[in-house]
Amino acid sequence: MRPVALVTTLFVTFSSGIAWADPATDDARIDAIERQIRSLQSELSRLRHDLATRNAESRAAQQEAARARQEAQEAARARQEAQEASVRPATGSRVAAPAQPGAPAAGIAPAMPAGGLPSSLAQNVPGWPGSQEPGPIGSVRAGNFQIGSTQIRLGGFIELAGIWRSRNEVADVGSNFNTGIPLPNNPRYYENEFRMSARQSRLSLLVQNQPNPATTLAAYYESDFLGAAQTANSNESNSYNLRLRQAYGTWDNKDLGLHFLGGQAWSLLTMFKTGLVPRQENIPLTIDAQYVVGFNWTRNPQVRFAKSFAGDRFWLGASLESPQTLYAPTGPNGLLPQSNLTVNNVNPGGSLFNAANNYSTDIAPDVIVKAAADPGWGHYEAYGIGRVFRDRVSTLGSGTNGTAAAGGGGAYALLPLVPKKLELQASFLAGTGIGRYGSAQLPDAIVGPGGGPRPIPEVEALVGVVGHPTPALDLYLYAGTEQESRTFFNAAGKGFGYGSPLYSNATCGIELGAASGCVGNTSGVWQITLGTWWRFIQGPWGTMQAGAQYSYTHRSIFSGIGPTPSTDINMAFLSFRYYPFQ
């Protein structure tokens, strides 16, 4: 009973008692009034109990809300820490910064299914609960949506890069660390170079599905605009080609620890941040699309298998990758001393290849095997590569095929010196015929004295330090080298092959000196690179970041007849990028 009703009842009862008082029945009326008073007191006690109960429930609800807010804050802090550890500015092949929430595509339902995404699928979908790739705090990542049971992720960025080089390479945002650095006999040695480019802007698409709780299927596509057909130029329209970077499908079974990849992807030889699964490659943070000297990589058509053990702490992997042999440039005396022999080792492109480029005559894929460990502190790898080179030596009416085996091995470590703040990486690769897998693109082989391929010995190494003083700022420093050994033979007093001491370098220091007097075979390249990325805007609208980079590169030449030349180049880059889905 409400307080107003109680007062009304008392008033009516009292009024009734006055209006109809009868001395003969006073005792009966008094008893009736006392019963009413006791009834009203009972009702009042019940109201007080109900009010106390509601107050207790209100306090409990407030306490539950406070606990929920605290849990949400702790979860947000945990996600922020995970984001700080994982987010890096996307460069080269990297897709790293966190995405932010946004509206789903028109006519497509939001991506979150009832009960959330299965954890094995969510591990590779940024922004989903359980994802190993960062997403926004408290919401599903923008650019993620769902069609039926298929999860779709959009990615990429828009970039404007500024490029300055102390010597003119006539190159866009991807530098040439080898022959692109001119010697003093070339007028470009005395010219600097400035360019602006938006061609590293990138598009990516990740599609995933899960036929059962243990199995994940995925397809990944990535492209940029660094292709250049014969008609591409910078005169007016700057109409450069869309270029394929990656396009592959994967099958993963977490119960069996088995992983399969087929398509074009980063080589298995490329360094990883964890495990041996795609999209975990440790790509240098550079603006330069050729990355850094000493970095081992290709993006190759391949078929890859990997097996994880002991809860993904140990891995074994193997891949068969599309081959291509880089032959040393033909020396001043030709490929062979025998004038009656013809060597067929490279050919201009035919159907669906570019006729302006040469393609080697390979007979087998490159084979790469790798073991990796994530024991709890750091990531470690050991790897080997095997290759087979082939050409054909012909005379009129007959000929023979020449083959040669090549390959090498190496190791890599990624060490978190200060967790989430400072990382050290180091890698090396040594062997023969491995030039293709280094950023300097030194040659793999020469044509030997009998006409068959002869691999060139080489060593490649890289050391890098990456710091994250704040979640919005990254600093990086890399030092790398790629060094080759002389691989040559002499016949009839003449030199053949790569780095012959009988080659002349006499005119390498004379502007417009005769080309025949400057063979200039590169013996090695070393480089120091430093730079930074600053994410100055991050939110539901995406991420904007700015980067700056400087590098010094030195190119050495094999000694020969005359002075021993060398050359170098200073390069500076600025970058502005917008990641709409990060």
Which CATH number do you get for residue 545?
2.40.160
DSSP string, 409-451: EEEEEEEEEETTTEEEEEEEEEEES-GGGBTT----EEE-TTS
- Cα-flanking dihedrals φ and ψ of residue 295, to 5°? -80, 125
Whether residue 514 lies inside any domain: the answer is yes
d(CA 275, CA 259): 11
Same domain, 289 and 409: yes
CA angle 529, 532, 533 (to 5 degrees): 140
pLDDT tens digit string along 169-183?
999 999 999 999 999
Regarding whether 466 and 333 lie in a shared domain, the answer is: yes
Confidence of residue 24 (pLDDT cuts 50, 70, 90): low
Residue 324 is part of which domain span?
155-199+221-238+285-579
Q: How much is the pLDDT for 46?
A: 80
Q: Does the structure show a pLDDT above 80 at 421?
A: yes
pLDDT at position 250: 98
Residues 6+ apart with CB under 8 A from 148: none
How far is residue 570's CA from residue 368's CA, in Å, rounded to a whole number? 34
Checking if the pLDDT of 556 tops 60, the result is: yes
Residue 131 located in a structural domain = no
389 falls within a domain:
yes
Q: Is the dihedral of CA 430, 434, 440, 445 positive or negative?
A: positive
96-123 pLDDT, tens digit each: 333 333 333 333 333 333 333 443 333 4
Residue 426 domain-assigned (yes or no): yes
Looking at residue 57, what is its pLDDT? 77
Residues near 297 by beta carbon (within 8 Å), at least 6 away in sequence: 266, 267, 269, 270, 283, 291, 437, 439
Q: Does 191 share its domain with 335?
A: yes
Report the pLDDT value the prediction gives residue 356, as an integer from 0 to 100.
Answer: 87
Mean pLDDT of 269-287: 97
Q: What is the pLDDT of residues 344-390, one digit of tens each?
A: 999 999 998 988 889 999 999 999 999 999 999 999 999 999 999 99
25: pLDDT strictly greater than 80: no
What average pLDDT score do residues 430-445 get? 98
- Whether residue 468 sits in one domain with residue 332: yes
- Both 553 and 413 in one domain: the answer is yes
Share of the chain above pLDDT 70, in %: 84
Cβ atoms of residues 416 and 405 within 8 Å: no
In a domain, 193, yes or no: yes
Lowest mean pLDDT among 2-11, 36-45, 365-374, 428-437: 2-11
270 pLDDT above the threshold of 90: yes
Q: Are residues 38 and 165 in the same domain?
A: no
Written as six digits, the tokens of 51 are: 């009010």
pLDDT-derived band at 80 (thresholds 50, 70, 90) equals: low
What is the predicted pLDDT for the residue at 141? 62
Pairing of strands 366-373, 487-491: unpaired
The count of structural domains within the chain is 2
- Model confidence at 292: pLDDT above 60: yes
Q: How many CB atoms lie within 10 A of CB 492?
A: 7
Is there a single domain that holds both residue 430 and residue 567?
yes
Tokens standing for 2?
Answer: 């409400």
The answer on 379 and 525 residing in a single domain is yes
Kindly write down the DSSP assignment for every residue of 350-369, as one continuous string: -TTS-TTSEEE---S-EEEE
* Cβ contact 375:381 at 8 Å: no
pLDDT band at 18 (very low <50, low <70, confident <90, very high): very low
Q: Is residue 550 part of a domain?
A: yes
CA 268 – CA 197 distance, rounded (Å)? 30
Neighbours of 34 (CB within 10 A): 10
What is the pLDDT of the chain when averaged over all its residues?
A: 86
Residue 145 forms part of a structural domain:
no
Q: Is the pLDDT of residue 508 over 60?
A: yes
pLDDT value, residue 136: 37
Q: Are strands 398-418 and 379-395 parallel, antiparallel or unpaired?
A: antiparallel
pLDDT, tens digit (0-9, with 9 covering 90-100), for 177-210: 999 999 999 999 999 999 999 999 999 999 999 9
Percent of the chain's residues with pLDDT above 90: 71
The confidence score (pLDDT) of residue 266 equals 98
Nearest to 502 by CA among 341, 343, 337: 337
Question: What is the model's pLDDT at position 66?
Answer: 74
* 93 vs 420, residue with greater confidence: 420
Q: Has residue 129 been placed in a domain?
A: no
The verdict on 506 and 376 lying in the same domain is yes
Q: Dihedral through CA 49, CA 52, CA 58, CA 62, nearest 10?
A: -140
